[in-house]
Structure 1
Amino acid sequence: MRAHTGTFFGLANRIVLAVIALGLSIGIVLGYRMWWQRRPTRGDRRALVGLAPARGTWRHLPWPALAVAVPLVVAVGWAFPLLGWSLPAFLVLDGLLALIHRRRTVAPAAGA
């Protein structure tokens, strides 16, 4: 409890906590800014200012980038357990939705 309130390690802990709080605040503000830039316009509610990357874009990444990104994602998931469980759950759900979408768009013709 003392480390969380900034009294355990004195000034050094307070500086670290302030930097973390500032980083979280900046991340929140930038997240809202990104949403604001990509929100639907008034003229056409379906048109987006910026489109999300296409599904499966990660497959086109160079191998060195994947070799760095995958262990980094695993390490972050281990350090933050809530993210560690929700990220794989999201990836599985996204993969299942992609599979369902693919089967609906490329359904074989019955009796042909």
Structure 2
Amino acid sequence: MLRLPASRGKARTDWPGIVLMTFALSSVVLAGTWAGNRYAGASWRIGALAVAAALGLAAFVASQRRAAEPVLPLRVFDTRNVRLPSMMIFAVGAAMFGATLDPPL
């Protein structure tokens, strides 16, 4: 069973995790927004944003493994009751993002 840790005094903020998560998510949003609108979908700018998002995500996961108090503890994904709904929420979110972004374009 997954339990939240007891409070151990003043919490430390995981600034590297916050910055890396913001960088990765911003790259994904910019690539999705600019692809086909401002730049061609296969342009080098969109490709660079996709690579930046992948590298940012990899760096975020690596930083969360090392952090004393991570933004997103990766051990929560050890249980199937968290892993499966998380994948479903990601798929539905991606579909909704695409469905709301595409028609206005």
TM-based fold match above 0.5: no
Task: Between the two structures, name the one with larger relative contact order (CA 8 Å, sep ≥ 6).
Answer: 2
Larger radius of gyration: 1
Report the TM-score, using the length of structure 2 for normalisation.
0.31
